[in-house]
A = this chain, B = another copy of it.
Amino acid sequence: MPLNKLLSENDHPDMAEERRKATFDTDEMAAIIWGSKKRMLRRREITQKVEEHPELHDPCSLAYLTRAEGVDNAARKATTMIRLLDELGIDPLEFEDVFHLTNEVIGIAGHPLALHAVMFIPTLQAQCSDEQLHWIELAFNRRIIGTYAQTEMGHGTNLKKLETTATYDAKTQEFILHSPTRTSMKWWGSSRIKPPCFSLEKGRSVDFVALLRWPGNLGKSSNHAVVVANLVMDGKNYGPHNFIVQLRDLETHQPMKGITVGDIGSKMAYNDTDNGFLSFDHYRIPRMNMLMKHARVSPDGSYTRPPHAKVGYSGMVYVRTQMITHQAMFAAYALTTAIRYSAIRRQGEIKPGCGEVKILEYQTQQHRLFPQLARAYAFLFTGRAVKIVHARVDKDVAKGKVDEMAELHYILSGLKAVVTHLAGEAIEQARMSCGGHGYSKASNIFEIYGVAIGGCTYEGENMVMLQQLARYLMRAANAAQSGRGLSPLVNYLVKPHEKHSLIDREPNNDYSGHLLAFEWAARRQIMKAYERLLSLTSSGLSGEEAWNGNAVELNRAARLHTRLYIAQTFYDSVHAVVDAACRSVLEDLLHLHLNYELIDMAYYLLEDGYLSSQQLDYMKEDMYRLLAKIRPNAVSLVDSWDYSDRELRSVLGRKDGHVYEHLYKWAQDSELNRTQVLPSFEKYLKPMMKEARGPSKL
């Protein structure tokens, strides 16, 4: 039995050659990646079931559908998927199953019911009072289709600046929803889950968030929405509250009078999703359409404020925890394609006369791909680790202990920013490593990039995220300087450190010195940024001006802290792996990661002589050694992610390596090939050719 369980007689010989070189069992590794052997097998079972249901398949490559066709196809698949859940043996509350099913059937570009499940229902669950529970039932049974409408054209993240108003009319006991300006128009649908409309109280249902990517469905699919609007009574603004609003007629699907709603147009990705605009022209809804679990408005217009003014971080933390794992998956999608294709693509000779080599033999190609593969694994383990911390901390919150949740919130702000940025880099490097064919949509890497890179913007713009972590770090720096106690997360700020790095020529499998270097770099930059902040304020700037004048240095500090966190987590996770063969190859990836990242941030280590030029050279030599060591396992390391060809949707990334014949098949389906002669020939080209012209100017 070969160690790489994907090895098959149908494999392209070059691919089979790769698989025979595996030094570890890919099923063991898949179980590590997906959490357990059971989970790995369940994923395969679902993949197999989808394979057997042609009504869940696409009519052709998604690259060839127009946007309207894509939205239609996604609606078809989503409704069919829901109808078949029983037959497929999938419990809609088993969210990991639903998640994988969705990845197989829908892909990553969204579908018209996504937001119904991930935002609408959870919001209702969190916000409906006892008299309002019928909304949850209507939504859960899909008698209505809902979405969540918070962000406006002029304001994405600043909840305080939302302009939509809900003015209470005590005479009729109605709220009048109104969009007073162009910029107050609801836009996207939602771009961020805000704590007030999100809680974990109702148990597992929040896990629907597992399905979350960029939300949408406001434009054309939903007939209801939870709308965030400023509650206004007697001229007083009580701030943003949630209202359930019918947008379209249930029978005709026409917008209600007073409602303007539509699609916001094409985007970089998520084009199968109908993100929408929505505005109100004095649109009246009954008083009881305000979601009243927390704040309440009585018939006479008196207001009861919610019991807790301050809301926890749990919802945001949960979503960002999920994002880390998703970004790891996106990077692994792209790298699966790139590494497999690099193993069957031959180009150029290394030794003259010895024939063309696989491009994976080139050091430049290895250096392009393997450190990125290491990152995908690092992000995966990081996502898992923060998920575990979150589950633990969430229990503490229930008991009123909120400190650690706040801390988790800060580190996740940093992780969200760093991981989305680096995952995007990994995906683009993977695409470019495939040459011209990578540029074709046949690679599908580009669609993955579009989806993944959206994560830099949604759920909190990355620059804002880094600034949030920086605020925490500056408080920690202050505490460190004044000798106050520090939480374990930032305890390295006061831990005694060697003044010179311990990194040696031969690490002999001990990379703890590398981890210390991450700590050194982060600590130095955090304390430097802190000192600079103090010096800017003491030079006469206000606190806010000083902060802004120091923002770039603060972001650097936040990034270094986050990269330390990732490295430490990766380190700990790999050392906890039981299977020796898997641990060994994961150690190779870990060591590559540690070297690569430290070289990337070397200037923070060289500045003050902590690292010597010679030690930097040691790390480089070690990195080149590791690239060559990982090379024979490269294909098996991506095979272990266990992506089906359907989920990967990439001609270049095919499991069997038979790329070129399928590339041609793929091209034949191009919408331009539906007819041999395009209409433009008769309309434009032929007349141009017929037009008599004098001799050329030559």
Binding site for B on A (CB under 8 A): 61, 63-64, 66-68, 71-72, 75-76, 78-79, 82-83, 92-93, 112, 125, 136-137, 140-145, 151, 153-158, 161, 182-183, 185, 187-188, 191, 202, 205, 219-221, 250, 252-255, 262-268, 274, 277, 347-348, 350-352, 356, 361-365, 367-368, 428, 432, 435-436, 438-442, 446, 453-454, 456-458, 461-463, 467, 542, 544-545, 548-553, 555, 602-603, 606-608, 613, 616, 620, 624, 660-661, 663-664, 666-673, 676-681, 683-689, 691, 693, 695-698
Contacts and interface: CB of A to CB of B under 8 A. Distances in A.
Nearest to A663: B153
B458 A552 contact: no
Contacts of A555: 364
B613 A608 contact: yes
A548 B359 CA distance: 12
Contacts of A145: 685, 689
A145 B61 CA distance: 30
9 closest A-B pairs by beta carbon, nearest first, are A140-B696, A75-B680, A263-B672, A606-B606, A602-B603, A607-B613, A265-B670, A363-B551, A79-B684
Contacts of A368: 463
A318 to B, nearest CB: 19
B441 A268 contact: yes
A137 to B, nearest CB: 6
Given A368-B463, A672-B71, A660 B266 contact: no
Given A68-B678, A274-B672, A603 B624 contact: no
A76 to B, nearest CB: 5
Contact of A265 (B64, B66, B79, B93): B64
B685 A112 contact: yes
A439 B463 contact: no
B672 A262 contact: yes
A696 B552 contact: no
Most buried by B among A67, A136, A602, A684: A684
A76 B683 contact: yes
Most buried by B among A352, A669, A677: A677
Contacts of A698: 125, 136-137, 140, 202, 205
A79 B680 CA distance: 10
Contact of A142 (B670, B693, B697): B693
A439 B454 contact: yes
A219 B677 contact: no
A83 B685 CA distance: 12
Contacts of A78: 684
A142 B266 contact: no
Contact of A143 (B68, B670, B689): B689
Contact of A253 (B137, B221, B686): B686
B446 A268 contact: yes
Contacts of A75: 678, 680, 683-685
Given A542-B351, A672-B220, A63 B266 contact: yes
B667 A221 contact: no
Most buried by B among A93, A255, A686: A686
